[in-house]
Amino acid sequence: MDLRWRLLGSLGILLTGLMLMAIAINLYSLKGDIRNEIAASENLARVLLEASRMASETPAQEVEAQLSALLQERPLRHLTLAVSGMPPPGQEESAFLRQLALWLGFDPAPQSGQDIRLGGQVLRIAANPTSEIEERLTDTLRLCVTLALFSAATLAVAWWSAHRALTPVRELEGGLQRLARGEDAAALPAFALKEFRRVAAAIDELAAALAASHAAQHHLARQLISAREKERASLARELHDDMGQSLTAISATAGFLERHAADLDAERVGECARDLGRDVRASREQLRTMLRSLRPHGLDIAGLPHALEELLDHWRQRSPDVGFRLEVRSPLPDAPEAACLALYRIAQEALTNTVRHSKATTCLVALTGSAEHLELRVEDNGKGPPRSGVTRGTGLLGMEERLAMVAGQLHLTSASPRGFSLRASIPLPLATDETR
């Protein structure tokens, strides 16, 4: 059900009930007023008849007393009845009613009226404004009470409707708090109102996205740990196989010289020195290669193009059947080392994927920039992404994680006419911590 229709329905039922109640009260009041009017008319007729009899049969000094008793027994509405020359009997009006009558422009003690001669007496009938005012005050009080009840009932139903309508909000708040505590699901109930169903569906989608993100982070953490261990194993293997052999050869040559220095001629000593120099240069080159793979030296915006060119030279030696090309659009903007290192690592991973998976014959690495961003594009003419879409493995997850550290974005598209294109963009100026 729609929230608006529920609120309108509740208020509509309330207003209908209150309207029926007001009609019933007014009808009941009207019934009483009609009964009082009929009784007042009958009383007036009987009072006139009795007054006529009194005028003809009762002594003048007793007329006032008997007329007062008669009016007490049969009160008149909105009229006063008195013997001419005498004050109206039984008229005990409050000061408030008299003041209200004066404020409304009526004289509470009327000076005019109609005289009726009955025998030797003259009866004066005059309008009584205070009686009408008192009746109107009673009606006004009744109306005020009705309006007060009407308003109280409206406020009560509005509060109840709002309380009932907003109850799901507390459920939604609880679901969001569960997500904030790290739970995988919001555990929201089924809602009757479609508005809250839509909000609950959005929260469930958010929970699913957060769960997927947490799973991806855990997977990435495991993969990063595995990659780090593999890198350490590879480094240890290179140190043992390459530099270990070189150092062993150097040690053997040095030991040979130490043992036979007195017996060797100059030519033999020179040959040993050349062997030592060759082994030292090989060790130095191996060390430089390992250091470059771990972290290029001087990787700032000025050294980034040179580092990328060295990286391409490395891949040219390993994959001579692939034509690697570097394009740098100068001038490049001033960028921190964190941004340069992130783009270099992404280029390393992208070139590795190109050689291993794309079966490409050409590969372009383009470095461009402006005052707002620094961008790296790696594009090949290989087989391109699969039709099912790019699978975000360890490499892509690592790229996205590294770019996230510098507020960058990664875009993967198909190259034209064939191949794969990777674009990494980093906004400038960079306001994040330096990448390690």
Domain annotation covers residue 148: yes
Domain annotation covers residue 259: no
Q: What angle do CA 70, 73, 74 make, to 5 degrees?
A: 85
Domain annotation covers residue 343: yes
The residue from 132, 154, 176 where one domain ends is 154
Domain annotation covers residue 247: no
* pLDDT score for 429: 81
CATH number at residue 340: 3.30.565.10
Distance between CA atoms of residues 383 and 358, nearest Å: 5
* pLDDT score for 119: 53
* pLDDT score for 321: 93
Q: Is 95 exposed, middle or buried (0-12, 13-18, 19+ CB in 10 A)?
A: exposed
What are the Cα distances from residue 253, in Å, to 35, 287, 331, 426? 137, 20, 51, 52
The residue from 136, 154, 172 where one domain ends is 154
Domain annotation covers residue 432: yes
Tokens of 364: 């372009």
Distance of CA 374 to the CA centre of its chain: 33
CB 344 within 8 A of CB 336: no
* pLDDT score for 363: 95
Range of the domain at 357: 298-436
Domain annotation covers residue 320: yes
Q: Where are the beta strands (DSSP E) in 225-372?
A: 323-328, 362-369
Domain annotation covers residue 80: yes
Strand order of the β-sheet with 114-118 is 79-83, 121-127, 114-118
Nearest CA to 189 out of 372, 181, 199 is that of 199
Distance between CA atoms of residues 172 and 103, nearest Å: 60
Pairing, β 323-328 against β 362-369: parallel
Distance between CA atoms of residues 353 and 351, nearest Å: 5
* pLDDT score for 389: 58
Structural domain total, the chain: 2
CB 322 within 8 A of CB 361: yes
* pLDDT score for 147: 82
Nearest CA to 294 out of 207, 212, 234 is that of 234
The residue from 154, 184, 200 where one domain ends is 154
CB 366 within 8 A of CB 391: no
Distance of CA 422 to the CA centre of its chain: 34
pLDDT in tens, the chain (436 residues): 566 676 777 778 877 887 888 788 778 878 877 887 787 777 777 777 776 676 666 666 666 666 667 666 666 666 776 655 555 554 555 566 666 666 766 655 554 566 666 555 666 777 666 667 777 777 778 788 878 888 888 888 778 877 777 777 888 888 888 888 777 777 777 877 777 778 888 888 888 888 888 887 787 778 778 777 887 887 788 777 777 787 888 888 888 888 887 787 888 888 888 888 888 888 888 787 777 667 666 677 888 998 899 889 989 999 999 999 999 998 888 888 889 989 999 999 999 989 988 889 999 999 999 889 999 999 999 887 766 555 666 678 888 888 988 989 999 988 777 889 999 999 988 644 444 3
Distance between CA atoms of residues 71 and 50, nearest Å: 10
Domain annotation covers residue 167: no
